[in-house]
Chain A
Amino acid sequence: MKKKLLQKIIAAAMVCILMVAAVAGCSKTETTPQGEQGGKETTGGKSDGKLVIAMLPKFKGENYFDACKVGAQEAADELGITLLYDGPPQDQATNQKQVDILEGWIAQKVDAIIVSPNDPTAIAPTLKKAQEAGIKVITFDADAQKDARDLFVNQITADAAGKGLLEAAARELKAKGYGADKKANIALVSGSGTDANQTAWEAAIEKYLATDEYNFMVIKNRETDVYYPGTDETKVNAECATLISRMGPGEDQIQAAIGLSSMATPALGAQYQSASQKPDANAITLTGLATPNALKTYIKDEENPMNVGMLWNCMDLGYLAVQVAYQLKNGDITTESTSINAGRLGTKEIVDRECVLGDALIFDKTNVDNFNY
């Protein structure tokens, strides 16, 4: 009996030690990230009176949002505010994870929240709750339900994005002999299907496809020619491989593929590169949105039909978002304002509670090396 008791005590002691170790481990790690944020911030967020702005990307660990963070940090340093940055891991880019993080920030009463929602409607109740708590809510990159945010910092109007992408594809296709008398089939590789920005771009593309200028390009079957692989890298790669193998000069094949997410476009380039029997590069074209770094290899490769990529300056996007959030909280601008003086970016217009960063950044092999993100 005594022996058993001893065992029990030992077991309990062991667990306690492990437990303490775990807690110690977690409290140690906890200090590091806060230290990185400049050590300015204590729990509760604003004991030293500095504004706290929290930024929530769709997901972390991919270079598009990482670049946004760099710009956001730049603005935060310039303005002397504290920036919190966290987001779901890439394979769990769901609304639920975003809400978990938001709830924590709302409880701390941060001053402003900048968010890129994975799902515009499902996040709305939480954003409204933040607004009720007196927190300014800014969306960037992708919009949320309009009544759930104060301002939207848009990288590019959906119209311009759709037109820019189609123009890039059209130019390439025309150079390869397609036109009014020779139609081309195109395919889109989108994101998860509910992101507000990609949905808007798709709509814009469809709109322009109906115009005389672009109607030589057609999406033959919406069910199969618009891919929604989500944010899972292997899935994106696998679906792009299927798409590449469907490409070629034939009428029942696909001549142009446009990637609408920063994961899809590099995957298209990579899958073309690794295809066993590469579709004739003189008959097809690949293009889409992605950071220049992610496309460098493919654009510079003469044999790869990916010659042009499109994006906006992600760092500027992050910078602008923080500027807007800061000035909105400070009262320099209101939701009714028509323009904002955004630091190094100069004056930007605000139309219908939407602040647009600017035009698309088109890069090809002549200038792709000038960018580093």
Chain B
Amino acid sequence: MANKKKFKVTFNMLLFLIWILIFIGIAATSPVFLSPSYLLNVMLRNIIEIGMVALPMTLIIIMGGIDLSVGNIMILAATLGGLAAVTYGSAVAVIVTILTGLVCGLINGLVIVKAKISPMVTTLATMYLYLGISRGISKGSSIYSFDFATTMGTTSLFGIPVQVWIYVLLVVIFTVLLAKTTLGRKLYSIGLNENATQYAGIDVGKIKIAMYIICGLICALASFIWLGRFTSIKFDAGTNFNMKVITIVVLGGTSINGGIGSMIGTIIGTLIIATLNSGLTVMNIPIDVQTIVHGSVLIVALIAYAVVNSRAKKKKLIKIEAAPKQVASM
């Protein structure tokens, strides 16, 4: 048991090391980067929406699912909310946005669980669907922000942007949820062996639907921040959002096959991507080179992960029954 614990820490620490390396590298070449206002107001603010959605995405991927429609749920929620705000005011808009997130997540969950269609196919279809609806309803033009969203996107609390506070709060909630609750253990269990979990008397379907709904809700929350930050939104703003979220989760060492992963990893992954995003920009590195750097970092992390994973897989096969215990140890 002790050995396993050491191993877990090693992987996350490795990731942490990568982050520190990148961070120091950038800070050394570009002193501007280190200013607290840049770190808080630019680096963190720019990643918040993606980082936020990466949290429930980690849960979904750990239980062996995937959601390719998150960016589009976010845009659809913002679109409907923004339109509602024009005629009914801010309060109704908030309700509409949250409801949209909830319904979108519910649709994903229901189709995956009840029709037994693979999560990838389902969310690919809903990706088109949500994108198409927001494009059709907005007629391709911009949707403007409303009071509540503006507050969420632009105000600061004790000198720190309010969305950073929200993110930190969510990080705490999700980390505890995954590591310390039975629900978290059930998620690992589903990811490792769904049938076995079902036979163990756990209502897998219900948990799955709940996770997709949570994901939808977080997307709705992110949509307030996004809308507030930019004052307006367009249907294509979610381009690449989905893949970015998945990249972060995978970078954090969560296995796309399910059953393995941790919230800490995702958080470090978020920090790595945030540092790269804002750091390379401040160094005046052209966007194309930035893309290559992102890709390389992902590959490095993946290879590191693959090396440890070859052993983790063996463990996985043996430990199906002991899965909850293994989780508890981290």
Contact = CB atoms under 8 A, between A and B. Distances in A.
Interface of A: 1, 4, 7-8, 11-12, 14-16, 18-19, 22-23, 25-27, 29-30, 33-34, 41, 43-44, 60, 84, 86-89, 92, 94-97, 99-101, 103-104, 106-109, 119, 121-125, 192-194, 228, 230
Contacts of B292: 26, 29
B36 to A, nearest CB: 12
Contact of A107 (B35, B239, B293): B35
Q: Do most interface residues of chain B lie in helix, strand or loop, or is the interface mixed?
A: helix
Q: Which of A19, A34, A60, A92 has the most CB of B within 10 A?
A: A19
B184 to A, nearest CB: 26
Q: Do most interface residues of chain A lie in helix, strand or loop, or is the interface mixed?
A: helix
A89 B287 CA distance: 8
A122 B229 CA distance: 8
A125 to B, nearest CB: 6
B29 A43 contact: yes
B289 A43 contact: no
A89 B229 contact: no
Interface string B280-301: 1111111111011100110010
A194 B141 contact: yes
A43 to B, nearest CB: 5
A29 B287 CA distance: 12
A19 B296 CA distance: 9
A30 B31 contact: no
Contact of A192 (B30, B236, B297): B236
Q: Which of A1, A8, A27, A122 has the most CB of B within 10 A?
A: A122
A18 B303 CA distance: 9
B281 A103 contact: yes
Q: Please name the 5 residue pairs, one residue from A and one from B, whose CB atoms are nearest each other, closest first.
A: A104-B281, A15-B304, A193-B140, A11-B307, A122-B230
Contacts of A124: 231
Contacts of A8: 7, 10, 308
B142 A119 contact: yes
Interface size class of B (residues with CB under 8 A): 35 or more
Given A12-B10, A86-B287, 15 more contacts: A7-B311, A8-B308, A18-B304, A22-B296, A30-B29, A43-B284, A88-B287, A92-B240, A96-B230, A101-B287, A121-B232, A122-B142, A124-B231, A193-B140, A230-B236
B168 interface: no
A40 B275 CA distance: 26
Contacts of B283: 30, 43
A124 B228 CA distance: 12
A125 B154 CA distance: 10
B144 A43 contact: no
Given A15-B300, A193-B141, A60 B287 contact: yes
A26 B296 contact: yes
A100 B22 CA distance: 18
A122 B233 CA distance: 7
B209 to A, nearest CB: 31
6 contacts: A8-B10, A19-B300, A43-B29, A94-B236, A104-B42, A194-B141
Given A33-B289, A193-B141, A107 B284 contact: no
B285 A30 contact: yes
A292 B230 CA distance: 36
A94 B33 contact: no
A9 to B, nearest CB: 10
A8 B6 CA distance: 11
A202 B278 CA distance: 37
Given A8-B10, A121-B231, A107 B282 contact: yes
Contact of A33 (B142, B286, B304): B286
B231 A122 contact: yes
A109 B282 CA distance: 10
A34 B3 contact: no
B154 A103 contact: no
A228 B25 contact: no
